[in-house]
A and B are shown apart, each in its own frame.
Chain A
Amino acid sequence: MSPSPRPSDAHPPDANKDRDIRTARPVRALQRVLSTALNSYATVLLLGVLVVVFSLATPRFLTAENWQNLLITQAVVACLALAAILPLVAGEFDLSIGYLVGALAMLGAFIAQAGGGAVEVIAAMIGGGVLIGLVNGILTVYFKISSFIATLGVGIILSGAALGLSGGQVLFSNIPAALTNLGSGHFLGIGTTVWLALVFAGILLYVLEHTPFGRRLYAVGGSERVAFLAGVRTGWVKIAAFVGAGLLVAVGAVFALGQSGAANPGFGADLLLPAYAAAFLGVTTYRPGYYNVPGAIVAIVLLAVGFNGLNLLGAPFWVQPIFNGAVLLLAVVTARAESRHVKVG
């Protein structure tokens, strides 16, 4: 379909007669390596550049303490980005994840305040996340509502529920110690929640790329009709994607509650866009053109490093969103310029 074949596809029949082409080959190979690197790992390169620049610019950047803080603030966003990826792979949006993380944290704090222990609190949060995922999936699959609208509606309801549970207050009393220990704990100098987020990322990576379910998920996202005709239970696959998203959001909510030791009724909604920005930015990395886990993780670290470095250099508070948005647009535009096969959104 693409009019010009790629250079690697075929060699000109008279290439051996042409000396210029022969001498040009090593140069071309190098170009190819560079173009692959730029194509698949532009964000990694950018991350490297930022780390070097910030390290040279300020001595406070490359310290253990700074990196601990930098990473631990990203554990919750990482869970939400992973949650966003699952429905995106299946060709659906879940806009409820921001409100859901706030509502679940509030639910946990509410149960704790009412005397619940760590087990009850965590079970309720996980159960709530799975339930909302199921609702999102059923609305999308059985009621055939566009997931964009269905999950937005569910999210708005959740924001009201969170306000109701809170009674307009920040809930902080009687949060189980197991949770707060999890939030403040360290292992090898890095926050426990960061390690756990990476474990969940690893699990999701494995599920998406190495299990039949993951392949079916990509197939449904590629063409639901084709997958259906190939015998895939497309409805189940989509519902499972939403349930998985709800589960990952619940994990993020547990981390958030543990880290801050309190639940704020306004928490969550503003995490939606950073999570999606990371998922979209990830499309330019690792497996260009597809939503993928390693890409999203690199994107999260990239955005966090950018914010942290600019902060240390004394940039004003409003620079972060501008930096995030600019990086997202720049990365996607560069990736498109490099490869027309990349599709985003």
Chain B
Amino acid sequence: MGVAATSISKSFPGTRALYRVDLSVGAGEVRALLGANGSGKSTLVRILSGVYQPDEGSLLIGERRISALASPNEANALGIAVVHQESPLVDTLTVAENIALFRGYPTSRGRIQWRTLRRDTRELLERFGIDVDIGTLGGLLSPAERALVALAIALDRVTAGLALLILDEVTASLPEDQARTYLEQVRMLAAAGTPVLIVTHRLSELHGLATHVTVLRDGIVVHQAEAAAVDDESLVRQIAGVEHNEPETKGPPDTAQAAVRLWVGGRRGDDRPVLEVEHLAGKLIHDTSFTLRGGEIVGVGGLAAGGIGELPLLLSGAAARRGGALRVNGREISPHASPRELIGAGLALLPADRLRGGGIASLSMSDNVVLPDARRYWHKPRLERATLQHLIERLDVRPPSPDALFGSLSGGNQQKVLLGKWLMLGPSVLILDDPTSGVDPAARRTIFSILREAASAGLAVLLFSTELEQLVALCSRVLVLRDGAIATELAGGGLTRESVTKWCYA
């Protein structure tokens, strides 16, 4: 089995999404499909899954050559299974009921056969080696379990032989440890002969998994190779389409850019820490202490179970503190302080979930940026325009229109806008919670270079990331969080990908 797409072209009014794209995935192959946001990846996936029909080209599915898949149902019937980033699970239904929504409830005279349902569900999950309690409510599953159940649902929809499994940025919303569990499952499916097409922004997770790589840029295949033959650095160049780009290391930022920097805060005169955390306690966090000085970029790594999701919320006033002390710029913060008070004290948080915590999809880019400081822009439309123009230029936001709805931007551009929103407020401390999830490599570069620039001007950055590589590349020291407390601090020569991994998982 397997799928080959030949010379696929697809245009939308005003843009050409794909131009003569060839792509094939054979039995036992895992092909990674890479590209920046807007490169045509999603369009190609939608063509392979029957959502769009190509203008030109043909598809070879197994032995059948067809010009297009008419619908997602036809794609399923021909053996193509698609898993999307958002798991299609209802929080208030059990795993068994969620699965039954897709495959139908077994009934007898209109009455649901609960026992049959439970047995069938258990069989289905066992068939794909997925270990999840079928009586658990969807909302109580861990992210990896949700993703695995979604995988089972997708595989189950394919009735004939499996011709292709498409994973469309499935791991983007999973923490790295959870993604690992998930990808292990995928690796086993691939080893059993299932052709897999994996779309992702995280290059690191492809090591040992992908056998082939295809890079799309502006709708054209710019690179096609065996996975072993290329390194990450050259892949990023292919994706971004820039030959000479600054490498992702700790270098001084471009001084010419620093003249018009986004961060409007200033360096403090004394050398006191800007953030002091002492014996902080919450639900999972029980004893965390550290300090942060201006100009530092400090990383925090660890697993979800260790409280890495909770710490940013505790620090920013979004979750209630149960104990310990917190000082920002030497100012004592009360345990009941709201985000408003912490922003006032000089601490800002870029939350993890862009659309639920970061920005408001239904409002414009401009409304989102001025939200924390609306009073400053009252009756100053020219100041607002100028601010937005500055932000758009410095962060290369596309489309460059302040009136564009936040929800209509790509993930990378949304994150750039949110970064600008907080930097323009001039905080002393900026906490970023997983800022690169679902962000394409080119946008990541921009975000990192802006962060380095702001830090060199005096901003203290606390970076939470589930991508350990990022922590090592960007931070001067990394705190590893385990069981609600800081297990170790890695810096200098001791700060390597291996040491961080070891402390996180071992």
Contact = CB atoms under 8 A, between A and B. Distances in A.
Interface of A: 1-13, 210-212, 215-216, 218-219, 222-223, 225-233, 289-290, 341, 343
Contacts of A211: 378
B492 interface: no
A215 B46 contact: no
Contacts of A343: 362
A227 B318 contact: no
A289 B362 contact: yes
A332 to B, nearest CB: 17
A10 B218 CA distance: 13
Interface string B404-443: 0101101000000000010000000000000000000000
A289 B362 CA distance: 9
7 contacts: A4-B13, A6-B14, A8-B14, A12-B15, A227-B371, A229-B351, A231-B339
A296 to B, nearest CB: 19
A324 B492 CA distance: 72
A223 B360 contact: yes
B357 A229 contact: yes
Nearest to B378: A212
By size class, the interface of chain B is 35 or more
Contacts of A223: 355-356, 359-361
A225 B378 CA distance: 23
A152 B358 CA distance: 33
Contacts of B42: 3
Nearest to A11: B14
Contact of B371 (A1, A7, A215, A341): A215
B101 interface: no
Most B Cβ at <10 Å: residue of A2, A229, A289: A229
B330 interface: no
A249 to B, nearest CB: 27
Contacts of B372: 230-232
A229 B318 contact: yes
A83 B227 CA distance: 62
Counting from the closest, the 8 A-B pairs by CB-CB distance are A222-B360, A212-B374, A231-B340, A231-B343, A230-B372, A230-B371, A223-B360, A4-B12
A335 to B, nearest CB: 15
A232 B12 contact: no
B371 A228 contact: no
B360 A219 contact: yes
A222 B316 CA distance: 21
A226 B372 CA distance: 10
A206 to B, nearest CB: 11
Given A211-B378, A219-B367, 11 more contacts: A1-B410, A3-B46, A8-B14, A13-B16, A225-B357, A226-B358, A229-B358, A230-B339, A230-B371, A232-B340, A289-B362
B399 interface: yes
A132 to B, nearest CB: 27
B344 interface: yes
A211 B379 CA distance: 8
Interface string B360-374: 111100010011101
A333 B121 CA distance: 40
B111 interface: no
Interface centre among A211, A228, A230 (most CB of B within 10 A): A230
B349 interface: yes
Nearest to B350: A229
Contacts of A225: 356-357
B362 A10 contact: no
B14 A232 contact: no
A8 B316 CA distance: 40
B6 interface: no
Q: Which of A1, A3, A13 has the most CB of B within 10 A?
A: A1
